[in-house]
Every structure is written in structure tokens, then in C-alpha cells.
Structure 1
């Protein structure tokens, strides 16, 4: 039982990273109907800001610079690369975001080099005991931060004027334009929010082992998370991310003991198995909005 609870706690911590990246995917999709594959590169951008600055100005100021800087990078990408593509099919724009991701990661790999870059978060590898459980402080910080951001985003979309405008633009861009909503500004802010969220995820992705040229792969686990939760659901992104983290941790804990024939490393595949199972029952995800097209 202790092993099971330990895996759940660890999975919630890791799943929080997936949830933060998934929130960025969902916010961009809700406003533009495009899946941005640039999120992994934006996450590493935030990591590098903190990694290079935390020894110079301190961790928390470095994190603030990372959030603002990554949001600025995301807005620049939207303004210079994607804004001219308005009106093009969504899959064309999605392909362009793949190109943006590759370009950013080439620059990042030059900055990372062959060495590990350490983010230097204030939690380190410190643990505390809760009964028989050994809980990593970083996992608690990850989960608390994710839930706090979810609450702030929910309040923003529900109560703020601009948040309501973003919801209107996501529902029908032409009607939003007719009502005087600046849809171009909505697109830019949605990318800025996605960049800021990616930077926060980048703060946590270190995990005590440093970031390398392969760390961006972590962000790919957000793809099954957003599909499981629903492409247009903010709450679903968080639930999907946490579910992916828990399933991955449980498989890593029990697979060798009960299913050794699956081979080593099956935990890395388990999120996609969960994705297939969910899609068989809920093709639009657990909280996604079914689209009805009349022919």
C-alpha cells in the first residue's frame, strides 16, 4: 500500500509538469484552433532563463524574468511567423509551429552544449515524512503551483473582460470581430500565456538532474494529456496531465514485478496506451466539446 501511495504522490508531481505544458496547448487551441508544437521549445526557453540567471540575480527574480521573457518570445513568434498565416488551414499553421520548435531548439542546444544546466530551484531534493510516505518538496510545489494557476486561469476566463473576449473569440471569431473584440490581440495574448506557462513548467522540469539537449521530450507527454482531457478544456488539461503522471508512475512501480514480459521502459509508453483507451470511450476526450457538423 505504501508503494502505491508513493507512486501516486510521485505521479502527481510529475503530472503537474505535463499539466502546465498542456494548459499552454489548450489556451492556444481554444483561441486559434491550432495545436502549437512549439511548446517544448518554449518550456526549455524558460528553463534556460532560470538556469543562466539564478546565480546572478537569485532564483525568484530569475523566474520572473523567465516568465516575462518566454512570454515575449512566444508573442514574437505569433506576431512574425503565425500572424501572416491567418486564414490558412490549421494543419499548415501547425506544421509551421513544428519548424519554430526546431529553430528554437537548435539555438537552445548551442546554449546547453554537452553539459547539464541546473535550474537551481529552492526545493532541491529535500523530502519530508508523512506517515510512511517520503514526499519530495518539489512534488508538493509542482502540484500546488499547478492548482493555483488553474484557479487563476478559471477566474480570468470567467470574470475578466479580456478573458470573456478570449472565450468569445474561441467560440466564433467572426462574431467576436463583429462585437468589437480585437481577435489579433486575443491570439497574441494566448501565445503569451502559453509561453508564461511553459516557463513555469521549465522551472520544474530540472528534477534535480539538470536539463540537457533531450529534456524537451518531457513536454511531449502533454500531447496525450490534452487529448485525454479534451483539446478545448482548461480543467481537462490539468486532469489529463495528472492522470498521465499517475499512470506513468504506477506502471514504473509495478510493471517489472507483475508484467516483466513487457520489457524495460514500458512506463514511457503507458500514457499513449491510456490515450487509446480513453479515445475508445470518449473520442473528444473526457471534458472536450463534441463537434456536430451538418452535411
Structure 2
């Protein structure tokens, strides 16, 4: 029983980190209508900044700079590229983001090389044991940080002027524009938030289970795509729930892979996509998504 509870708790903590990334996908999609396939490279960029700076500034200062750096990178991509599209259709923007992802990932890979850069997180490889459940300290801290971030996002969207403006722009951009809401501002804010969320997730993914920052860290964002689609392209709560479902399903599948050997080796790695497909067969708009959300 303790093994099951450990796998469940591990899956929930991973799910919350995936939820951070998935919420970034949602915010960009609802604020600018873009499927941001460069999200993984932005995540890697934030973690890379932290790894490079932390020997000189300490972890916490480097973490703040890395988060702000990823937010700035998101704003830059939106300002220079997305807003200047001649035909800002979802398909065109998606292809553009694939190109941006390749360029960013290539440059970051060149900078990192074959090294694995330590993130310098103060919790290291410590573990926390409570009852019969044992979890890495990084996963427990990540879960706490994610919950705080989600609470702050709720406050932003529900209680602040810019948050209400972003919700209005996401619901009906044309009407929001006629009411005096600057769509360029809400879009910029959305890209900044998404970049910051990606960096936070990247810091925790780089501290455990990965020993540091490597180009493969960018693939972490790909695991959040099923959570994003599962919850609904345009739903922040759906992204969080989708992350939890994917995290728990993946953790249990990997933890009990020996008992599920008849499904094939490495089945745990494809579980997120299998769950996503099964749900979409029943609910094409996702668990919480609006039916009118655009698909590509």
C-alpha cells in the first residue's frame, strides 16, 4: 500500500509541474490564438540562465533572473514575430513556432554542448518521508510552489484589471477591443506569464530527476501537451486537472511496469498520449474546453 501511495504522491507532484507548463500553453492560446510549440525551448532557456548564473549569484537570485529572462523571451517572440504575421492564422503561427523552437533549441544546444549544467538547487537530492510515503524534496517543494502560483493566477484573473482584460480578450477579442481593451497588451502579458511558468517548471525538472540542465530538458514541455489538450485548449483549470491526470497515470504506469509487461516495454512513456486519445474520442474539446476553440 505504501508503494502505491508513493507512486500516487509522486504522480500528483509531477502533474502539478506539468500543469504549470500546460497553463502556459493555455494562456498563450487564449490571449493570441497561437499554438506555442516553442514552449519547450523557452523552458530550457530559463533553466539554462539559472545554471549559468547560479555559481556567481547564488541559486535564488539566478532563479529570479531565469524566470524574468524566460518571460522576456516570450515577450520578444510575440512582439517581433507573432504580432507581425501578415496572415495571423493558427496554422501559420504554429509553423512559425516550430521554426522558432528549432532555432532556439539549436542555439541552446550549441551553448550547452555535451555538458550537464548543475542547477544548484539548495534541496539537492534530499528526500522527505511521511508515514509510508517517500518523496524527493524537490517534488514536494515543486508541488507547493505550483499551488501558490495557481492561487496567484486565480487572483490575477479574478481580481485585477489586467486579468479581467485578458479574460475578456480570450472570450471575444473583437468586442473587448471595441470596449477599449488593448489586445496587444493582453497578448504581451500572456506570453510573459507563459515564459515565467515554463522557467519555474524547468527549474524543478532540472533538479530532479535530471542531474542538471541538458538540451533534452526541452522535451519536458512535450509531456505537458497531452495535459493541455486533455483539459481543453482554452481552459486554465482544465490544464491543471489534465496535468494531474497525466502525472498520476504516467507515474502509476511506470511504477507498475513490471506487472504490465504484456503491454510492452516503455509503455509508461506513451501513457499520456494514450489517455489523451481516449478522452478526445469521447470529448473532442477536452474535459473543460469550449467547443468553439480553434483546432489545428
TM-score w.r.t. the length of structure 1 is: 0.95
Cα displacement (A) at 1:81 = 0.9
Unaligned runs of 5+ in 1: none
Over 3 Å counting, the alpha-carbon distance change for 1:267 and 1:149 in structure 2 is same
User: Distance in 2 between the 1:190 and 1:157 partners?
Assistant: 11
The 3-state SS of whatever aligns with 1:256 is coil
- Residue 136 of structure 1: CA displacement? 1.5
Q: Is the 8 A contact 2:233 2:293 kept in 1?
A: no
Question: Are the equivalent residues in 2 in contact too, given 1:229–1:238 (CA < 8 A)?
Answer: yes
Residues 9, 139 of structure 1: 8 Å contact kept: no
Contact kept? 1:78, 1:191, Cα under 8 Å: yes
Are the aligned partners of 2:44 and 2:215 in contact in 1 as well (CA < 8 Å)? no
Evaluate the alpha carbon distance shift between residue 247 and residue 86 of structure 1 in structure 2; reply closer, same or farther with a 3 A threshold: farther
Q: Which runs of 5+ in 2 are unaligned?
A: none
Q: How many residues align?
A: 292
Deviations 1:224-253 (A, max 9, x none): 001111111111111111211111010011
For the Cα contact (< 8 Å) 2:285–2:293, is it kept in 1? no
Number of the residue aligned with 1:254: 256
Quick check: 1:238 aligned with 2:244?
Answer: no
In the alignment, which residue of structure 2 is the partner of 1:36?
36
Aligned position for 2:217: 215
SS at match of 2:109: helix
What is aligned with 1:121? 121
Report if the CA contact (8 A) 2:82-2:88 is conserved.
Answer: no
Q: Give 1:280 deviation, angstroms.
A: 2.2
Structure 2 matches for 1:1-295, cutoff 5 A?
1-85=1-85, 87-206=87-206, 207=208, 208-257=210-259, 259-291=260-292
Query: In 1, distance between residues paired with 2:10 and 2:211?
Result: 16
Local SS of the residue matching 1:123: coil
How far did residue 91 of structure 1 move?
A: 0.8
Q: Would you say the 8 A contact 1:12–1:139 is kept in 2?
A: no
* Superposition misfits of 4+ residues, deviation over 4 angstroms: none
Distance, in Å, in 2 between the alignment partners of 1:13 and 1:167 is 28
Structure 1 distance, partners of 2:34, 2:91, is 7
SS of 1:232 mapped into structure 2? coil
Q: Distance in 1 between matches of 2:66 and 2:128?
A: 29
RMSD: 1.5
Would you say the 8 A contact 1:13–1:138 is kept in 2? no
Query: Contact 2:285 / 2:291 at 8 angstroms: preserved in 1?
Result: yes
Aligned with 1:188: secondary structure? helix
User: For residues 164 and 87 of structure 1, do their structure 2 counterparts lie closer, same or farther at Cα, with a shift above 3 Å needed?
Assistant: farther
Please state how far the C-alpha of 1:261 moved relative to its aligned partner. 2.2
Q: Deviations over 1:236-287 (max 9, x none)?
A: 1111112111110100111222x21222211110001110121122221111
Note closer, same or farther for the CA distance 1:86–1:122 as it changes in structure 2 (3 Å cut). farther
Q: CA deviation at 1:48?
A: 0.4
SS in 2 for 1:135: strand
